[in-house]
Amino acid sequence: MLRKHLPRRTILRGLGASIALPFLDAMTPAFGATARIGGPQLKQAPLRMAFTYVPNGISMDAWTPASGADFELSRILAPLAPYKDRLLLLSGLNHHNGFPLGDGAGDHARAAATFLTGVHPRKTSGADIAAGISVDQMAAARLSGKTRFGSIELACEDGRLVGNCDSGYSCAYSNSISWRTPSQPNPPEVNPRAVFERLFGESSEDPATMARRATYRRSILDFVMNDAKTMKVSLGPTDNRKLDEYLDGIREIERRIEQAEKEGNQIAPSMEHPDGVPVEFADHVKLMFDLMAVAFQTDSTRVATFMIGREGSTRTYREIGIPDAHHPLTHHRNDPELIEKVTRINCFHMQQYAYFLQKLSSIHEGDGTLLDNVMIVYGSGLSDGNQHDHANLPVLVAGGGAGSLKTGRHVQYKKDTPMANLLVSMLDRMGVQHGLPGDATGPLDRLSDLV
């Protein structure tokens, strides 16, 4: 009882590098909560939330299962079978403000812009863009100072934030789902190296130090290893194992980024390819998911967004035998062959998401896993991409929500229930004071036994 406890914000430091630590047993008092006077102390980790966005809608016939607690996973959801008890599938939600409402074409821009704001964006391709503050940024502002970063914004497809990208709508709407203010989108980062350096480089690191590390290809871990060895002496065997697994995981991420940089240098000069971006799409997605997991594991942030593709994406998927551009495929005009290709792309995306859930479930935290302490939304701002439909959106929430979600269910809501109500409920669980975003009417019911 008298032993010294490790502060939650302990950081390993070295020349030009700093590494936050995962949740260790030695930090229990930082998260400890007493259930009752004289009762056992509970190890309570913080709640995190994230949003994974997929573009161009989904093949809804292959997405939607039957309702009920014993629902069978559909074809697209099948990769999530090991985590079925940690899923909440929500049907019937819509974004009314994604519809034209007199503005005509531009559904892809509106799909992304409304996803986390619930606000109908101003139709303009100029500098006078206007949407709404997204819920991730509402949470980031409320949690400011509790973590190193209020939020992180990731993507796997680069895109500009100026110009006309969709029928008179600014590219800013299609290429970002995170909005700091109604006129200021947060451009997502696509380069894993840049994300890694942000998470583990010192904020005061000078360009010369960064260049020197790049020249000698020294791992960030090399700079902090002396600090780590000193700390390990004071840790118990369980914490030593956790720390070793965590540091090994960081080194593996570094190795994969360095390999991607080598492969990138071999690409034909005519192709633009940022340093650190893997050639294979699946490798890129997994690296970004790994970085998000590390950011949560170390409590570097509790809020994240990830766009697997920008809205209206024309990415091809030759690795699964589909050389056709994604967006045109979704305008399939009910052609079974084209629908099948879209469905295969949807399944491929879900396989990558399943990798993320596996990663979270493998990280022990307190009395459970990191997956128990997150709310990870997966979805799109369109349901049927062929019809540009913003109703009955494909939405699922994974994770235990720190005990605040009753998972393992498919919940069917009445027609035209605002998706913004889900966003309200998530903010409530994060302890964020807020108004009602977008067209929200209040918290979404039936997410748990408590609501």
The pLDDT, as a whole number, for residue 331 is: 97
Rounded Cα gap, residues 329 and 126, in angstroms: 29
Q: What angle do CA 382, 434, 372 make, to 5 degrees?
A: 70
The pLDDT, as a whole number, for residue 34 is: 37
The pLDDT, as a whole number, for residue 440 is: 96
Tens-digit pLDDT string for the chain (451 aa): 334 566 766 777 665 567 777 877 777 655 544 333 333 333 578 999 999 999 999 999 999 997 666 789 999 999 999 999 999 999 999 999 999 999 999 999 999 999 999 999 999 999 999 999 999 999 999 998 899 999 999 999 988 788 899 999 999 999 999 999 999 999 999 999 999 988 887 544 555 555 555 544 456 677 677 777 778 877 888 888 888 888 888 888 888 888 887 776 554 444 444 567 999 999 999 999 999 999 999 999 999 999 999 999 999 999 999 999 999 999 999 999 999 999 999 999 999 999 999 999 999 998 899 999 999 999 999 999 999 999 999 999 999 999 999 999 999 999 999 999 999 999 999 999 888 999 999 999 999 854 4
* Structural element, H or E, at residue 303: strand 303-307
Rounded Cα gap, residues 172 and 183, in angstroms: 10
Closest CA to 83 of 286, 359, 308: 359
- Give the contacts of 44 (CB within 8 A, at least 6 positions apart): 31, 32, 33, 366, 402
**Other residues' Cβ atoms within 10 Å of the Cβ of residue 60:** 18
pTM of the complete model: 0.87
Question: pLDDT tens digit string along 67-126?
Answer: 666 789 999 999 999 999 999 999 999 999 999 999 999 999 999 999 999 999 999 999
Instruction: Tell me how far the alpha carbon of residue 195 is from its chain's centroid.
Output: 13
Where does 298-405 have alpha helices with state H?
Answer: 326-330, 336-361
The pLDDT, as a whole number, for residue 271 is: 41
Helix, strand and coil content of the chain, in percent to the nearest 5, comes to 40, 15, 45
**Tokens coding 291:** 């970085």
Domain boundaries for CATH 3.40.720 within the chain? 48-190+277-429
SS3 sequence, 401-424? HHHCCCCCEEEEEEEEEECHHHHH
**Tokens coding 290:** 């790994």
Question: pLDDT tens digit string along 322-343?
Answer: 999 999 999 999 999 999 999 9
What's the CATH class of domain 48-190+277-429?
A: alpha beta
